[in-house]
Amino acid sequence: MKKRVVAVLTAAVMAFSMAACNSGSAGSTTGGSTGGSTGGSTGGSESAAPAASSGELIKVGIINNDPNESGYRTANDKDLQNMFTTANGYDAKFAYSLKNDEQIQAAQGFITDEVDYLLLSAADTAGWDGVLKDAQAAGVKVTLFDRTIDADPSLYEASIVSDMAKEGQTAVDWLAGQGLSEYNVIHIQGVMGSAAQQGRSGALDAKVAAESNWTIVQQQTAEWNAEKAQQIVQSVIDSNTPFNVIYAENDDMAKGAVAALDSAGISHGVGKDVIVMGFDCNKWALEELLNQNWNYDGQCNPFQASYIDNIIKTLESGGTLDKKTIIMDEKGFDAATITQEDVDNYGI
Amino acid sequence: MKIDIKKLLSNQLLIPITALVILCLVNLVNDASFFTIKLAPNNEGYNVFSGPLITILDYGSELAILAIGMTLVTAASGGQDISVGATIAIAGSAMLRVLCGGVSKPEALAAPIIVGFLVACIVGMLCGVFNGLLVSIFRIQPMIATLILFTAGRSIAAWINNNELPIVPDPKFKYFGGFIPGIPIPTTTFIAIACIVVAALLLKFTNLGLYTQAVGINESSSRLNGINPTFIKFLSFVILGLCVAVAALIKVSRLATINYSVIAKDIEMDAILAVALGGNALSGGKFNMWGSILGAYIIQFLTTTLYKFQVDAAALPAYKAVVVIILVVFSSPVVREKLSALSSKKKAAAKGVA
């Protein structure tokens, strides 16, 4: 019996190590473009830059959400990894977690390590006052990116965020510009209560309330999930309710919606029966625009590294920042005008 | 015509069937067009059936397949596997890794679809082996043992594909989660039926069902009767692993791609719920596979109905919870016993009067 257990365990270990070899070769075939070893990290902290810190390097502690969370996060992490390298004069340490308490712990660790700058994309808005006060006492300068927190603004130097409400407004303005005689919208929402959902829903809700020829045929959350979106659109098709716009709050859900349209034989895209709108600008989604299968994709800019770099450079040279909250430029792409260049530059 | 009320009330399938009938009635009263089935061409030009009932059959398939495995795990180990969603991500990711060769946008398939599926089966079963070893040999509570993959699974899935999101180029791959050209019924239905038939045959022609129940009811007495409880528990997790691989094929095929963080999210809870709705005790022992499968389709029926009623998005989970609480309470063995006791008392009282 014991022998058998050992044999099974050995087999399991071998299988797992084989899988590991496999993935290693995956890295080399795809060019290892992640720029670090973050691919499979599940949380906790790991250092991406060489540990040896020379006096010249600026020590930066970066606390982010798990890069596996979404395409947005993956692109965001890649961008930060590429910016905060020893070649650019940084000694960066990264910590990933989707949990606020783990992030706070990591922040405390970075403060103990005497980093010069703490960059933070908080999992949750609350609970940061204590650790940020510690940071201030230790002379660590804090910059928020991507997400804001409920803390006194004096506790951080700057916050670089996306304006989700503006993203929604840009999209709704574009839709209004299409000049349809009536708008029957299927509105597929993200996880209820998330900043992206609130911002992107808000603009549409306001417009529907204000205009008499705008109607919401179905408004439902698909929780960022493509399949749920597919089911929701399927349910509208099954009920024979006419609609001509799909407003999905991210690309995945738009993709699910389109799958439902395809199986029901409803045409979609430029000059077709149904207008398809998505958000986030995934590369594959922009290609759908380029192929005229979708109509609109709103950007949610994950590239904050250059903004942060500017801030640190300004502070290092003794300058002051002219404003605390920096809202990034975000575009909306129209299938009628998008180019291959846009896909390459803005696709994530 | 005499119907034995006591027997009927104590039948395990009574509650799920009643629930199904009530759901049907609610929809019938609300809008009878719920039951119409249309035949219309899709965007590829093939005629396909559509309608709410087809939607339920289609989207309920994965859950029905998972319910088969979950029933066995529940019966044998007296606990549940909560890593199902995460292992679907792992198996699906492994399948795409093989099919796309680690490239996010390949021009052609790197391996035949069947190879990808077999790899997914092996990976799914390996996850089952991992869980099964922890539960059967190390005697860890199933929920704790499977918590490991529940937590780490989606990251492992992302790591298998180097955090790329591969898109399968071959349109044939979409057949499994969609339609085969010329056949108007969703392929998922056939896959689910195939799995159900295999499970039914296994239970009919092997001792698997009997042994599983024996182990679940009393482990030591089953050992005294020459059954190896360790092996039976282990086996149930491996079978669930296989079910997971089949469900992963459907899930990944629906959109020919994967999203590690949301694919099959919370599906383990629905699978456990399906087992409970089927009137099976979650503490293990006797089980009724048909109850679980019926439970799975009821959950999908409920979801489709709620979409149909256009329930407010923020309140959707609350509505679902209320219905589920009612169903689970009524299908719990305790309430069923009480009900049948009540009816026999009434009968006795009636006799006394007469």
Q: Residue A326, Cα to own-chain centre: how many angstroms?
A: 17
CB-CB neighbors (< 8 A) of B55 in chain A: 231, 234-235, 238
Q: Average pLDDT in the A60-84 region?
A: 87
Report the pLDDT value the prediction gives residue A68, as an integer from 0 to 100. Answer: 72
Judged by CB atoms closer than 8 Å, whether chains meet at B102 and A29 is answered as yes
* Chain B, nearest residue to A187 by Cα: B313
- Structure-token match 């219309």, residue found: B40
Between CA B64 and CA B73, with CA B67 as vertex, the angle to 5 degrees is 160
Between CA B180 and CA B187, with CA B181 as vertex, the angle to 5 degrees is 20
Dmax of chain B from CA atoms?
A: 81
- How far is B226 from B248, CA to CA, in rounded Å? 36
The shortest C-alpha distance from A27 to chain B (Å) reads 6
Is residue B185 classed as helix, strand or coil in its secondary structure?
Answer: coil
pTM, two decimals, is 0.82
The shortest C-alpha distance from A141 to chain B (Å) reads 31
Q: Average pLDDT in the A63-72 region?
A: 81
Instruction: Indicate the domain borders of chain B.
Output: 5-37+52-353
Q: Tell me chain B's radius of gyration from C-alpha atoms.
A: 22
Sign of CA dihedral A249, A171, A75, A305: negative
CB-CB neighbors (< 8 A) of A274 in chain B: none
| C-beta separation of B177 from B247 below 8 A | no
Q: Average pLDDT in the A327-336 region?
A: 92
Would you put residue B238 in left (φ > 0), alpha (ψ -120 to 50) or beta? alpha
Judged by CB atoms closer than 8 Å, whether chains meet at A41 and B155 is answered as yes
- pLDDT at residue A25 is higher than 90: no
Q: What is the mean pLDDT of chain A?
A: 84
The CATH number, out of the four listed (1.10.357.10, 3.80.10.10, 3.40.50.2300, 3.40.1710.10), of the domain defined by the range A164-300+333-346: 3.40.50.2300
Report the pLDDT value the prediction gives residue B206, as an integer from 0 to 100. Answer: 94
The torsion defined by the Cα of B108, B114, B118 and B119, in degrees rounded to 10, comes to 0
Across the A/B interface, how many CB contacts are shorter than 8 Å?
149
Per-residue DSSP letters for B76-144?
A: HHSS----HHHHHHHHHHHHHHHHHTT-SS-SS-SS-HHHHHHHHHHHHHHHHHHHHHHHHTS---HHH
Report the pLDDT value the prediction gives residue A28, as an integer from 0 to 100. Answer: 34
Judged by CB atoms closer than 8 Å, whether chains meet at A220 and B52 is answered as no
Name the pLDDT band for A53 (thresholds 50, 70, 90).
very low
Strand A158-161 to strand A325-327: parallel, antiparallel, or no bridges (unpaired)? parallel
Instruction: Indicate the domain borders of chain A.
Output: 44-161+302-317, 164-300+333-346
Name the pLDDT band for A189 (thresholds 50, 70, 90).
very high
Between CA A208 and CA A217, with CA A212 as vertex, the angle to 5 degrees is 55
- pLDDT at residue B344 is higher than 70: yes
- How far is A44 from B93, CA to CA, in rounded Å? 23
CB-CB neighbors (< 8 A) of B97 in chain A: 22, 26
Report the pLDDT value the prediction gives residue A11, as an integer from 0 to 100. Answer: 54
Is residue B300 within a helix (H) or strand (E), and if so which, with residue range?
A: helix B289-308
- pLDDT, greater one: B187 or A53: B187
Report the pLDDT value the prediction gives residue A30, as an integer from 0 to 100. Answer: 33
A44-161+302-317 and A164-300+333-346 share one fold: yes
Nearest to A316 by CA among A157, A146, A81, A159: A157
Judged by CB atoms closer than 8 Å, whether chains meet at B313 and A189 is answered as yes
For the record, the structure tokens of A143 come out as 């910059």
CB-CB neighbors (< 8 A) of A37 in chain B: none
Report the pLDDT value the prediction gives residue A60, as an integer from 0 to 100. Answer: 94
Query: pLDDT for A206-237, tens place per residue?
Result: 999 999 999 999 999 998 899 999 999 999 99
Does domain B5-37+52-353 bear CATH number 1.10.3470? yes
- pLDDT at residue B144 is higher than 90: yes
Query: pLDDT for B46-80, tens place per residue?
Result: 999 999 999 999 999 999 999 999 999 999 999 99
Query: pLDDT for B164-174, tens place per residue?
Result: 888 898 999 99
- pLDDT at residue B103 is higher than 90: no
- pLDDT at residue B5 is higher than 70: no
Judged by CB atoms closer than 8 Å, whether chains meet at A226 and B259 is answered as yes
Name the pLDDT band for A279 (thresholds 50, 70, 90).
very high
Q: Which of A202-211, A247-256, B14-23 has the lowest mean pLDDT?
A: B14-23
Q: Which of A329-338, B2-11, B331-340 has the highest mean pLDDT?
A: A329-338
Judged by CB atoms closer than 8 Å, whether chains meet at A26 and B44 is answered as no
Tell me the fold of A44-161+302-317.
Rossmann fold (3.40.50)
- pLDDT at residue B83 is higher than 70: yes
- pLDDT at residue A7 is higher than 70: no
- How far is B89 from B85, CA to CA, in rounded Å? 7
SS (H, E, C) B236-295: HHHHHHHHHHHHHHHHHHHHCCCCCCCCCCCHHHHHHHHHHHCCCCCCCCCCCHHHHHHH
Give first-to-last CA distance, chain A, whole Å: 52
CB-CB neighbors (< 8 A) of A189 in chain B: 313
List, in order, residues 6 or more apart from B213 with CB less than 8 Å away. B75, B285, B286, B287
Report the pLDDT value the prediction gives residue B202, as an integer from 0 to 100. Answer: 95
Q: Average pLDDT in the B88-116 region?
A: 92
